[in-house]
């Protein structure tokens, strides 16, 4: 049974890590990072079978690929708190010669990072390749991805979606962060996405919707539902409805915090809303 209280403590700590990382260098992407905190904390600490000692090939373990790589602050924090590298290294975020670049890279040899991401639209294609490889090798573990909803405006996503369904890649669970916001405004204003559930179904996918995408219990239930659909000759999509900037009231629901760092006063405000639980770096 999940220790949801511990997960919630960890969520609060990861939020602190996110705002402190971007504040320290006055750059980065806090909004989407905060919105996906509950999901990634739950995935790495409750759902996936993974090994923080980290082997790049990921044989006999679940794999995760972050496609919307600009939310690296939450990814780095979750990896560090899961034991992939020292938590203290979060203090090097976006600094010269750091392994924690603004977008995750592989040439830095940072444990937990299997692809360079940030050029949106590519993560699903890579994940399909990894999932197909597992099936060919008789490896029964799952492959997970995370995408932004604005990222679905990239054509490569839909080419990959067609391929996955046509080739029955049924060990793949792709999650879309549906927060309705992107860098220039709402997704409806920039390029409306329409009915994503029916679109993925039309492309041959099974779909699970998590309406409370910032609730740990709802996320656990939703991912478990998605896992029951795997292995049935269809890829699975989770539509995760989240709030941009969740957990920091002045950031919530606004595209303005897609890629802006808090100042000193705003950092103090954000930290006061998320009391330290597991220790800052």
Q: Is residue 117 part of a domain?
A: yes
In a domain, 200, yes or no: yes
Q: Does some domain include residue 24?
A: yes
Is residue 281 included in any domain, yes or no?
A: no
Q: Residue 98 is part of which domain span?
A: 4-272
In angstroms, how far is CA 186 from the centroid of its own chain? Answer: 19
Q: What is the pLDDT of residue 1?
A: 67
User: Does residue 38 have a pLDDT over 90?
Assistant: yes
What would the mean pLDDT of 259-263 be, rounded to a whole number?
Answer: 96
Q: What is the mean pLDDT of residues 137-151?
A: 97
pTM: 0.97
CATH of the domain at 100: 3.40.50.970
DSSP string, 157-197: HHHHHHHHHHTT-TTEEEEEEE-SEETTEEHHHHH----HH
Give me 269's structure tokens: 């405000």
Residue 65 exposed, middle or buried by CB count within 10 Å (0-12, 13-18, 19+):
buried
Q: What is the mean pLDDT of residues 93-115?
A: 96
Residue 278 within any structural domain of the chain: no
Q: For the chain, what is the mean pLDDT?
A: 97
The pLDDT of residue 143: 98
Residue 109 falls inside a structural domain: yes
pLDDT for 118 beyond 90: no
- pLDDT at 222 (0 to 100): 98
Total number of domains constituting the chain: 1
Q: Residue 245: name the closest of 270, 221, 264 by CA.
A: 270
DSSP symbol at 208: E
Angle at 278 (CA atoms; ends 277, 280), nearest 5 degrees: 100
Note whether residue 174 is domain-resident: yes
* Residue 277 lies inside a defined structural domain of this protein: no
């Amino acid at each position: 049974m999940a220790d949801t209280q511990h997960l919630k403590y960890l969520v609060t700590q990861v939020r602190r890590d996110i705002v402190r990382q971007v504040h320290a260098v006055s750059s980065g992407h806090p909004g989407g990072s905060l919105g996906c905190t509950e999901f990634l904390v739950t995935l790495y600490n409750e759902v996936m079978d993974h090994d923080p000692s980290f082997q790049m090939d990921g044989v006999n373990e679940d794999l995760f690929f972050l496609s919307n790589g600009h939310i690296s602050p939450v990814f780095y924090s979750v990896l560090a708190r899961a034991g992939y590298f020292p938590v203290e290294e979060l203090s090097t975020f976006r600094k010269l010669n750091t392994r924690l670049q603004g977008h995750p890279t592989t040439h830095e040899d940072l444990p937990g990072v299997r692809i360079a991401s940030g050029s949106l639209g590519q993560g699903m294609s890579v994940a399909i390749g990894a999932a197909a490889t597992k099936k060919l090798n008789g490896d029964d573990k799952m492959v997970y991805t995370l995408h932004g909803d604005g990222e679905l405006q990239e054509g490569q996503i839909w080419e990959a979606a067609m391929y996955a369904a046509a080739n029955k890649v049924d060990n793949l669970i792709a999650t879309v962060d549906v927060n309705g916001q992107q860098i220039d405004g709402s997704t409806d204003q920039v390029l409306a996405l329409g009915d994503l559930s029916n679109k993925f179904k039309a492309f041959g996918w099974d779909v699970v919707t998590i309406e409370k995408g910032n609730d740990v219990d709802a996320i656990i239930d939703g991912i478990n539902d998605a896992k029951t659909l795997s292995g049935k000759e269809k890829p699975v999509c989770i539509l995760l409805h989240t709030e941009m900037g969740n957990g920091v009231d002045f950031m919530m629901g606004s595209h303005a915090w897609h890629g802006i760092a808090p100042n000193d006063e705003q950092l103090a405000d954000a930290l006061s809303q998320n009391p330290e639980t597991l220790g800052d770096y």
